Structure 1
């Protein structure tokens, strides 16, 4: 199985980017992981929130394969603790899915088309975090999940 993380817009913070790269490298020891950035839209001042979501949604959907399991990071999604999230990933791996795609949307969320295509939604917290920070948190939680599944000491129960 491959895990892909899609995110809208690049990370400008070099320290944050270094941490993301560190966890990406660690995660690569456990599973094939792909982190893909969808470039920010240009000339968004002329677009309504709905138009922006629509255009971002088209870019997201264009990155998917027909067999992908699409999971949105969404404030209204299901929340897991780290052990529960590791079990969630294990279920996907056991199901024979080729690729699970997690998506971090743009500032206004997702278009209806993306919501309709999604196989699930998860929330990392009831708090709001920047789109830049969520990338790091998500990759770290993926790494943590695999250390839990392998009974490695990174996660203390």
Structure 2
């Protein structure tokens, strides 16, 4: 099983890097994990709607260039499906059972994900009704993927 995470922007905070490294190491037991960072666009607070769309489009173009053919594409989006950890584990397992051995998760930049990239997705996932910084989202996603593999394999994990 292969999981790729394509994330817009770099992780700057040391505590996030440490958490990401820890969950990446834990996940290596269950899958081949690759994390790809693509450059984010400068996005000041006073952008017009058109400028926001242009920023998201440029970021999406960078993401698309890194997508591998045949991967199942999951985008993280606030309007995506919300599910429990158990439901996410079942969804991930269903991807693998259906013959998709490579799943790519995309975490957009601070403005979200371009609509064309959303339309390309096989599945859209929301981690919460709450808003998280996109850098923190990477750590949360890795923890939930680790939890999913523990659930899939019937292994204990703290609640």
TM-score of the pair, normalised by structure 2 = 0.91
The count of residues paired between Structure 1 and Structure 2 equals: 155
Distance 1:84 1:155 in 2: 17
Q: Which whole-Å CA distance do the structure 2 matches of 1:152 and 1:20 have between them?
A: 21
Superposed CA offset, 1:97-122 (max 9, x none): 13111111011112222122111101
Q: For residues 14 and 44 of structure 1, what CA distance do their matches in structure 2 show?
A: 23
Q: Which secondary structure state, in structure 1, belongs to the residue aligned with residue 111 of structure 2?
A: coil
User: Could you tell me how far apart the structure 2 residues matched to 1:81 and 1:44 are?
Assistant: 32
RMSD: 1.6
Q: Structure 1, unaligned stretches of length 5 or more? A: none
Partner of 1:25: 25
The question of whether the paired residues in 1 share the 8 Å contact of 2:2 and 2:103 is answered with yes
Q: Distance in 2 between matches of 1:68 and 1:50?
A: 26
Q: Which runs of no fewer than 5 residues in structure 2 stay unpaired?
A: none
Match of 2:56 among 53, 57, 69: 53
TM score, norm. by length of structure 1: 0.92
2 CA distance for matches of 1:110 and 1:82? 23
1:60-99 correspondence to structure 2 within 5 Å: 60-99=63-102
Larger mean CA deviation between 123-132 and 46-55 belongs to 46-55
- Runs of at least 4 residues of structure 1 off by over 6 A? none
